[in-house]
Amino acid sequence: MLNYPKCKIDVKEINPTTNREFTKFSLNIGNDVGDNLCSALKNATTYVNIISPYISHGYVETLNNLKYRNPNLDIRLIFSDKEDFFRKESETLRKLIKLNWIVNPVKQDKQLKILKDIGKNISFLKFFFIFGIFFTIFFLVTFLYFDNLYFYTKYLQKISFLKKYFYPILGILGASLLFILSKINTSKKRLVFIRNSSIEDPIFTSAFQFKCVKKYFLNESEKGNLYSFPHVKLYLIGLTSSVQKSYCKAFLGSANFTFTGIGNPSNSEPITYRTNIESLINTTDNEVCDKLKNFFEEMYSFNFPEHSIEFIGRNIYQDELAKKPSYFNN
């Protein structure tokens, strides 16, 4: 492995209260600047606020795990799209957004009503089919053995002229039975289709809050405004000291929230990428952290054009959504 140039600068001051030296600012430049940041992330206790144009699936999973371990942790992420976003970043976005299904009570009631109506229709058709079979048998017996029947009466003599229409009538009866049978089969197929049709609606959720700012995929009205693209990389992490005092650790520099930006110190992923030479400044200075927190709040509340979770979800889960078509969406 090549030994790339590195630079580390610590700006120290004397604490007037304790008269001890402490590091006010620390600057790291190199291809492994993420060690300190990742360590802080693991120990976050109150909040994790991040602005990074680009993100990696592994670090999204890190945030998911942090939220799972501490549901009260305030995690907010600002990132952006890019060209061919939904295909190239599908794995990352699937880590960020989960697809769930929930039963729609309106669809459920509609399904039950339609199934009940189809069931009644099938019962009605079956009755006529059975009646038609018996009537056809009666017709055959009556006219094939017309002259030999011991119950031959004046009434039968009156309808004897029908004998010459025996085959046309038999054909009509047969065709009617086939028609009813086809209607029964059609109704049964529709019954299966309705029964198998999804009555669930897709619900897209995320373990934490995020904003996906549009750089591409702008609509016509959005293209008319010259939006500045948030290219800053900022990490604000709320920590708790050994004496249970809350404080903020801020990181600011060139490194994106990606494997190539801050590396992969946990070694949770195989090294199949190059790590960029990046820079990160970190500080726990209260005044600096407060100003950066205010800046983050302004950025998070700013009216950037953004993708909704629904829009992203429907793009990355197209195959799953296509496998659960619903008659009740019409």
Could you read off the pLDDT of 130-156 as tens digits, one per residue? 988 888 887 777 666 655 554 455 555
Q: Which of 208, 241, 256 is nearest to 66 (CA)?
A: 208
Mean pLDDT of the chain: 84
Within this chain, do residues 303 and 260 fall inside the same structural domain, yes or no?
Answer: yes
Q: Give domain status of residue 187, yes or no.
A: yes
Q: Is residue 1 part of a domain?
A: no
Residues 84 and 193 in one domain: no
Range of the domain at 121: 105-198
Cβ proximity of 41 and 237 under 8 Å: yes
Asked whether 96 and 211 are in contact (CB, 8 A), the reply is no
**Structural domain includes residue 120:** yes
Which of 158, 183, 198 is the C-terminal boundary of a domain?
198
> Among 198, 225, 246, which residue terminates a domain?
198
pLDDT digits (tens, 9 = 90+) for 260-312: 888 765 555 544 556 788 999 999 999 999 999 999 999 999 988 889 999 99
Residues 210, 308, single domain; the answer is yes
Judgement on whether residues 142 and 247 belong to the same structural domain of the protein: no
The count of domains in the chain is: 2
CB 205 within 8 A of CB 146: no
Predicted TM-score of the model (pTM): 0.77
Residues 69 and 131 in one domain: no
Together in a domain, 218 and 317? yes
Judge if 226 and 82 occupy the same domain.
yes
In angstroms, the CA 258 to CA 85 distance is: 15
- The string of pLDDT tens digits covering residues 185-213 is 999 999 998 888 888 889 999 999 999 99
Q: Do 98 and 193 belong to one domain?
A: no
Pick from 180, 195, 182: which is nearest to 118 by CA?
Answer: 195
324, 219: one domain = yes
Work out the percent of the chain whose per-residue pLDDT is above 70: 84
Query: In terms of domains, do 109 and 19 share one?
Result: no
Nearest to 241 by CA among 46, 12, 69, 25: 46
Token pair of 124 as six digits: 């009605």
Q: How remote is the C-alpha of 197 from its chain's centroid? A: 20
Judgement on whether residues 243 and 316 belong to the same structural domain of the protein? yes
Specify the CATH number for the domain of residue 306: 3.30.870.10
20 occurs within a structural domain: yes
Domain closes at, from 169, 198, 227: 198
Q: Provide the 3-class DSSP secondary structure of residue 10.
A: strand
The conformation of residue 253, written as its DSSP 8-state character, comes to E
215 and 313 both lie in a single domain? yes
- Tens digits of residue pLDDT in 35-71: 889 889 999 999 999 999 999 888 999 999 999 999 9
